[in-house]
Chain A
Amino acid sequence: MGAADPRALVRDRFGLDAGGAPPRLSVEVPLDRWVDFARFAKHDLGCHYFSFLTAVDWKEQGLEVLYRIENLDDHLDITVRTKLGPDAVRCPSLTDVYRGADWMERECYDMFGITFDGHPDLRRILLAQDWDGHPLRKAYAVDTPHAPYR
């Protein structure tokens, strides 16, 4: 199942240059191919293992979402990332491809306020359902007060 050269395959299919060297690759994918790439990585590169999904807040440049997947048989791991753009908070959901994305995307929504389109059950997971704001945003100060008191 493992591709002979995953980087060449990524270039052929998506016209993207993967950074890093096998077994550790890093690919930046445009937002509209986010789910396509996950499907391709799972079926053609054999990356069945879903390690984690998270985001980074780059302040004015906006949010970056990334996930890490692995092919356990051929020892290949890929970090896939995309930039949502300034002030953008929408990202397609990977739950159709990886069942592990369910809780990870809920956590990411909880902490960063990113709306994952297509997620079947996008609720807060760690914080209370009526919490205000998303703590891991850089604009959210550690001592942000909460009414009444928590």
Chain B
Amino acid sequence: MPDLEARKVIELGYAGNERLVMNMGPQHPSAHGVFRAILTLEGETIVAVDAVIGYLHRCHEKLGETLTYVQYPSIASKTDYVAAMTSELAYVLAAEKIGQIEVPKRAQYLRVIAAELQRIASHCLWLGTWCMDMGGALGGGATLFLYCFRERETLLDLFEALTGARLLYGFHQVGGTRYDLPAGWAERCRSTVDLIEKRIDEYEAMLEGNAFFLARTRGVGVISRELAQEVGVSGPLIRGSGVAYDIRRVAPYSSYEAFDFKVPVETGGDCWARYRVRMVEFRESIGIVRQALEGLPPGPISSRPGVKSVGQVRIGKGEAYARVEGPRGEVGCYLVADGSAKPYRMKWRGASFSNLAVLPHIVPGHKVADVVAIMGSVDPVFGEVDR
């Protein structure tokens, strides 16, 4: 909780203990979007932080009440635009839960393939931008960023071949998926993940032997197990704080119970722990993609007829909360349906929103430069924070 007193500037002369209010953002390269942090400093040390969000607010929840179950999934992708597959999936899962709509096995596997490729692509973007934030310490800053973007590009090419879009897909729909795999896609996908798997080893070799990287991540931004739970952080953050909490494991959806994968857990709670969790997740996701391609069952990709009109899907009265494990953590959609073609109420539980809420608790006590490292390790996407 921001200390209201601490925000005031106290002029105590030049004894070195005077407080200074410094504004970081909203236009700051390390903000990964638009985020403003009002820092209260004593020298170089932060004593309080007030986080200002909302710059990307589009009121998705109101929008969701005005669009039908056919229209909204492709808008859902605009909440977390770095991992568009995730929020689309959460929305259609919630609608399917209320309407008790079956999803064919093949569609479930396609959803898993899309979700895991999305996780790899999102983690590529996280690693690249985070290392660029920490800049010169990592041998020229942009090196790893460009490598990661090179790899992410190959994944976006795969998405383009699958859905026709590179960033915002509209792949999921109530009852299944919109597209099946095009000819030759599976082979291309296999060779792409093989390549990325090799490249991850190279990234690790570049980073883990770098004394600056270790100094800037070890012991920085520690989130305790208790704080993680109370604030409700999820994904790599909570797993980096010693809680083995992965929705794919504790409440499997879309056939995740059929796949064999590890849930990485680190106990440090610092930036380094979160980095390690994500690096293992890269490899686990690649493993899941391979298993899903291998075991992809034949059959239809949707249990519903093709879309002819936007009001075609009606869902009976009821409410449901569906959640998926996105690259950033628990992405949940709480839907209240009233029997019409549009939901009565829709709530997004954005993983980035809850993850970012931990910032005022962990930043005080660190130096200004650490804010950048901590922000990057939290990996917020402001489209999802502000919705």
Contact = CB atoms under 8 A, between A and B. Distances in A.
Contact of B332 (A51, A75, A120, A136): A51
A52 interface: yes
Nearest to B356: A103
Interface stretch (B55-63, B154-162, B200-208): B55-63
Contact of B226 (A48, A75, A126): A48
Given A126-B54, A126-B386, A48 B332 contact: no
A127 B321 contact: no
A99 interface: yes
A125 interface: yes
A83 to B, nearest CB: 14
Interface string B49-83: 00001100101011000100000000000000000
7 contacts: A48-B226, A51-B232, A102-B1, A103-B354, A111-B61, A126-B387, A127-B57
Contacts of B61: 111, 136
A82 interface: no
Nearest to B59: A135
A57 interface: yes
Interface stretch (B20-28, B132-140, B298-306, B345-353): B345-353
A5 interface: no
Interface string A46-71: 00111110101100000000001000
Interface string A128-143: 1000000110001010
Give the most central of A68, A126, A140: most B CB within 10 Å: A126
B361 to A, nearest CB: 7
A98 interface: yes
B354 A52 contact: yes
Nearest to B321: A68
A121 B2 contact: yes
B368 interface: no
Nearest to B57: A126
Contacts, number: 79
A32 B4 CA distance: 29
B54 A72 contact: no
Contacts of A57: 345
Given A50-B230, A75-B250, A125 B54 contact: yes
B336 interface: yes
Given A126-B57, A127-B54, A48 B230 contact: yes
A28 B227 CA distance: 27
A115 interface: no
Classify chain A: how many residues form its interface, as a range. 20 to 34
Contact of A52 (B229, B250, B347): B347
A124 B59 CA distance: 14
A134 B61 CA distance: 12
B384 interface: no
B245 interface: yes
Given A51-B349, A111-B61, A136-B61, A100 B231 contact: yes
Contact of B1 (A68, A121, A142): A121
B248 to A, nearest CB: 14
Interface in B194-236: 226-227, 229-232
Contacts of B344: 56
Contacts of A56: 336, 344-345
